[in-house]
Structure 1
Amino acid sequence: MSIKSLAAKVFAKYIKHQINSWAQKPIEAQEKVFQQLIKSAQNTEFGKDHSFQNIKNYKDFSVNVPVRDYEDLKPYVTKVVEGKEDILWPGKPLYFAKTSGTTSGAKYIPLTKESMPTHINGARNAILNYIAETGKADFVNGKMIFLQGSPELHSKNGIQLGRLSGIVAHFVPSYLQKNRLPSWETNCIEDWEEKVEAIVEETLPENMTVISGIPSWVQMYFEKIYNKTGKKIGEVFPEFNLFIYGGVNFEPYRAKFENLIGRKISSIELFPASEGFFAFQDKQDEKGMLLRLNAGIFYEFIKADDFFNKDAKRLTIGEVEVGVNYVMIISTNAGLWGYNLGDTVIFTHAKPYRVIVSGRIKHYTSAFGEHVIAKEVEAAIGEATQKFKVQIAEFTVAPQINPENGLPYHEWFVEFEKEPESIRDFAEFVDQKLQQQNSYYFDLIEGKILRPLVITSVLQGSFQKYMKSIGKLGGQNKIPRLANDRKIAEVLEKFQQ
């Protein structure tokens, strides 16, 4: 055993003890975070507007601070972006994580000197927890690759901004610098296809032991290696034994990954976002990720079934139930207050509290990390019907993750009242409109992770048959516009036979 792996085991044991100490006292951990947040932000503009000086407990907080999404919080965020101090959190943020907005363009999520370490420690502790649980630490002697965005940052009113993964690249600890790939220069390549080619060239000669990234992007990397070498990934990197991922559900990719690798390997699931690093998989044989209750984030939960009801009840960690679908609301040491992240979670275990990400409160598809919502697809096809002077009865969108030939894609099942002269031209126009609205989808198309969408014209009456088959024909029942699986698609395909 090397000195490095021995040191990793010792440190992992220490971190595991710390994790257990707060995980076994969840309510106390959250109360401590809550009090620290309120005290720290009392003299901010938001704190004054919401009477933080009079907030003594959670009940006071829930009365004074309503649930908001980004658009509702935007008046405050705009002031922060303008460079003003003490708005949502004391002083100015260190960075803005720039993400794709769903209604008004880019979103700017603040990262403060208090919140930034929680992002870094979340990933670190996930790996150390794995070492403590399994006793496996030899991988620290090999090379680790993290497929991520460019670390190049830009300035906005004196505050650096970029994508979260690129910002995090600036905080890689010194003891990992020699082990980490790709190189800084390669990481800065903007063109994704060119970047992956460069990563392949850099990593092929190396002893890769850990590979991390969104499954769809990593799959592309694996396929390029296989096409170049004709060998399984497990042959190319015989000591590769840990895959770390987040962002999308891995299960649809698992069989493909194991085929590309040539064997099963261990994995760690993460639940990161620009707004916070929320959870990580702490047990290899348990379903769900450990919710981080001591990391500068105070959590509230609203039952998804009740979310759009007026006065839906807000719950704290001690009030949630296993197996119920909740919308997750956060207040953070980056200055997000009563913030609706949009994600829904289901608790798989209590004390310690573990969750799975069940989806989004609004219809969406994100099989590849694209976060396409109903508003975007409806706008795209609406413009297309006007341009091509066609009519449609109904449509729905499903991912095609493992096509027989070529890249994955979005498959749109459309029931036309009147078909366009060229469905190919119609599909191309819809695809362009979707790319214009959603930067994640644009990146996936540009990076050759996805090919442009495919429109499948279905027989008239197909959607009615589908609704009847599930007992939801008529009334106010609606066809879901988007899905992360092919359950609806498979039924529609049967009706075409």
Structure 2
Amino acid sequence: MTGNTTSAAFLRRTQNALAMQRKICAQPEETAERVFSDILSVSRDTGFGREHGLAGVRTRQEWRRAVPIRTYDELAPYVERQFSGERRVLTTDDPRAFLRTSGSTGRAKLVPTTDHWRRVYRGPALYAQWGLYFEQIGTHRLTGDEVLDLSWEPGPIRHRLRGFPVYSITERPVSDDPDDWNPPWRHARWFTRDAGAATMADLLYGKLLRLAAHDLRLIVSVNPSKIVLLAETLKENAERLIQDLHDGHGTDRAARPDFLRRLTAAFDRTGGRPLLTDLWPGLRLLVCWNSASAALYGPWLSRLATGVAALPFSTTGTEGIVTLPVDDHLSAGPLAVDQGHFEFVPWQDLDDGSPLPEDTPTLGYDELELGADYRLVMSQANGLYRYDVGDVYRVVGAVGATPRLEFLGRAGFQSSFTGEKLTESDVHTAVMRVLGSERTDHPHFSGIPVWDTPPHYLVAIEWADAHGTLNVQDTARRIDATLQEVNVEYADKRRSGRLRPLQILPLVPGAFGQIAERRFRQGTAGAQIKHHWLQKDSAFLDTLRDLDLVRARPGT
């Protein structure tokens, strides 16, 4: 089979998968019933199934009565039984590997993955998702060099636990299974992990170098932070890139003189700080999460790739896919009823994120109300049954008969010492209003809750020379005042003295980049490294001090 034939077959597969996804959205009932029946089929004749009497379960109501809602920690003993070598614990198809979560909201979880789940669920979903992106850029053929896929990093299995492979969903080995996700670029040099890349910036520079001379039209990432880092890597290495392309260093051959002249002229026009569109004028689409705290990257992305459209990546985690984009909505997609059995609990912002009671009443996808917020309970064919995910979604519309859901964050994702319910968006808005967004092209601050008598918030900010004559104490007062304008509960607690005034912790320039690189060196996949504009507790201070990132207080 020739490359062009392979490419055509791949594109047809994505187009067919997208068409099927749209058909499911129009009439989801039959698919939802099929998925529920499949979950029963893979769970009945198992240790879990016998313990919960699933042989007698036929309906959703019986399922709810038989299986309690559980957190991951409550499901973990079943996962441990799989590790111990027991067969058919959660699913009739035993795990082939375990997927490790990023651990950004606590200790890392280990999620079983089976051949059945990968082939029947996750693989087809990825084809449908990419079908939308190819449709948006009008691609009718692929060589594999029109796409920069940052959504996962292929690599060998580096960790095993009691004989089972363990890896993250975004740093997994390449599969040649024809029923799995098999993009044409899976063996391309720009895609495969460069063993000599010691840092994320090195890894991304290698991709820039190998794709620089190609007509790149699409960049796909999970987290927007990785696209921001890609753009920063380009700006910081513009001269080096031109020289390496001229010499053929790190590439198959030296670039053509006419291409180098065009690129040099484009870079010169930017003062040596090119945008992604200066390197790739044909760039048409950026894909990444665009909701919840990821939406705060919007201003950066619009400056780094001026005029380039943006679409959301699927709302997906290691545990499973929840929404799949099928159109040009900027931040939300329809519920992926073909991926699992989903239940919903009405959510109020008084919810502190505590585990749901095991018998909490739930609603089906067809009972949700427009504009309402819900906490998700999910059952997937990987063995996580009635799993209390802790994620909150808002119904923002519908696609056919399927609700369109926007991810809001995790239940209890506010910080609240005294009822102030501070959010990442609150902190981001206050700091950006005071400092502006023109001083930097990357996330450079984070709020830290500090318990004391009374408690207070600390904002760690990379304090560069670009801050000029700004006074730290005066800036802290201005951010505190702005935060009171943004959040009335915070203002009330400040006036009553239940919260002390906000303080600033100046950091060395590039501090948050160093933190990300540290996590990368420790083995966290680049796609799983997230920036938080508000930390969950003051433990983050230990990281700042361990890396010696706190600088002497300037301008005090």
Q: State the TM bucket, normalised to the shorter chain.
A: 0.7 to 0.9
CA contact (8 A) 1:269 1:289 kept: no
| Residues 410 and 322 of structure 1, relative CA distance in 2, 3 Å threshold | same
SS of structure 2 residue aligned to 1:299: strand
**What is the match of residue 205 of structure 1?**
213
* 2:358 equivalent to 1:358: no
Matches within 5 A, 1:248-263: 249=292, 250-263=294-307
| 1:128 to 1:274, Cα distance in 2 relative to 1, 3 A | same
What is the distance in 1 between the residues matched to 2:53 and 2:212? 58
TM-score, structure 2 length as denominator? 0.66
Please name the residue that 1:404 is paired with: 439
**1:258 to partner: Cα distance:** 2.1
Deviates more, 1:5-14 or 1:236-245: 5-14
Is residue 143–residue 180 contact of structure 1 (8 Å, CA) maintained in 2? no
Q: CA deviation at 1:472?
A: 7.7
Equivalent pair of 1:415/1:457 in contact (CA under 8 Å): no
Q: How far apart, in 1, do the equivalents of 2:162 and 2:19 lie?
A: 42
Q: Does the 8 Å CA contact 1:152/1:162 hold for their aligned counterparts?
A: no
Q: How far apart are the structure 2 equivalents of 1:54 and 1:394?
A: 44
Q: Could you tell me which amino acid in structure 1 is paired with residue 216 of structure 2?
A: M
Q: Aligned match of 1:265 in 302, 309, 333?
A: 309
> Match of 1:217?
226
* Contact 2:395 2:403 (8 Å CA) reproduced: yes
2:100–2:109 Cα contact (<8 Å) kept = yes
Aligned 8 A contact 1:232 1:260 in 2? yes
Q: Does the CA-based 8 Å contact 2:194-2:203 persist in structure 1?
A: yes
1:407 CA drift (Å): 5.0
Q: Deviations over 1:103-143 (max 9, x none)?
A: 873310111111113223222211213445x4711573433
1:412 is displaced (CA, Å) by 3.5
Q: Does 1:294 align with 2:338?
A: yes
1:317-356 to structure 2, matched below 5 A, reads 317-350=365-398, 351-356=401-406
Structure 1 residue 12 displacement after superposition: 4.8
Which residue of 2 is the match for residue 126 of structure 1? 129
Tell me the percent identity.
17
Structure 2: how far apart are the matches of 1:52 and 1:104?
Answer: 31
Q: Within the alignment, does 1:194 sit opposite 2:207 as a pair?
A: no
Contact 1:282-1:289 at 8 Å conserved across structures: yes
What RMSD in Å do the two structures reach over aligned CA positions? Answer: 4.3
Counterpart for residue 29 of structure 2: 27
The structural deviation recorded for 1:464 is 8.9
Match for residue 77 of structure 1? 79
- CA shift, 1:341, in A, is 1.4
The equivalent residue for 2:94 is 92
| Structure 1 residues 343 and 241: alpha-carbon distance in aligned structure 2, compared to 1, 3 A threshold | same
Hey, what does 2:167 align to over in structure 1? Answer: 162
Matching residue of 2:56: 54
Partner AA of 2:112 in structure 1: P
- 1:235 matched to 2:278? The reply is yes
The amino acid across from 1:195 in the alignment is L
Letter in 1 for 2:225: S
Question: What letter is aligned with 2:300?
Answer: K
Deviation sequence 1:427-454 (CA, Å, 0-9, x none):
79xx9xxxxxxxxxxxxxxxxxxxxxx9
Give the match's secondary structure for 1:176: coil
The answer to which structure has the higher strand fraction is: 1
Give the SS at the match of 2:131: helix
Q: Which amino acid aligns with 1:151?
A: G
- The 1:301–1:168 alpha-carbon spacing in structure 2 relative to 1, beyond 3 Å, is farther
Mapped to 1, the partners of 2:320 and 2:196 lie a distance apart of 24
Q: Tell me the alpha carbon deviations over residues 173-227 of structure 1, each in whole angstroms, 9 at most, x when there is no partner.
A: 5551378563424278463233223333333233322211111111011121133
State how far apart, in whole Å, the 1-side matches of 2:402 and 2:196 are: 39
**Mapped contact 2:291–2:406 kept (Cα < 8 A):** no
Distance 1:105 1:254 in 2: 29
Deviation, structure 1 residue 418: 9.6
The change in CA–CA distance for 1:188 and 1:52 in structure 2 (over 3 A counts) is farther
How many aligned residue pairs are there?
428
Match of 1:18 among 7, 17, 20: 20
**How many angstroms does 1:290 deviate by?**
2.0
Does the CA contact (< 8 Å) of 2:14 and 2:127 recur in 1? no
Give the Cα–Cα distance (whole angstroms) in 2 for the partners of residues 318 and 38 of structure 1.
20
Residue 48 of structure 1 aligns to a residue whose secondary structure is helix
Q: Distance in 1 between matches of 2:153 and 2:186?
A: 20
2:68 is aligned to 66
> What is the deviation of 1:43?
1.4
Is the CA contact 2:376–2:388 (under 8 Å) kept in the aligned structure 1?
yes
Measured at CA, do residues 419 and 41 of structure 1 come closer, stay the same or move farther in structure 2, by a change above 3 Å?
Answer: closer
Alignment of 1:104-143 (within 5 A): 105-117=107-119, 118-132=121-135, 134=136, 136-138=138-140, 140-141=142-143, 142-143=145-146
Amino acid at match of 1:120: G
1:34 is displaced (CA, Å) by: 0.9
Amino acid at match of 2:230: Y
Q: Is the 8 A contact 2:186 2:192 kept in 1?
A: no
- 5+ long unaligned stretches in structure 2: 239-271, 463-471, 503-530, 535-556
- Supply the AA of the counterpart residue of 1:191: T
Write the deviation string for residues 294-325 of structure 1: whole angstroms up to 9, x where unpaired.
23x11111111297675542111121112111
CA pair 327-169 structure 1, distance change in 2 beyond 3 A: farther
Partner residue, 2:328: 284
Q: In the aligned structure 1, how far is the partner of 2:406 from the partner of 2:493?
A: 28
User: Which SS does the other structure have where 2:160 is aligned?
Assistant: strand
Do the aligned partners of 1:143 and 1:207 also contact (CA within 8 Å) in 2?
A: yes
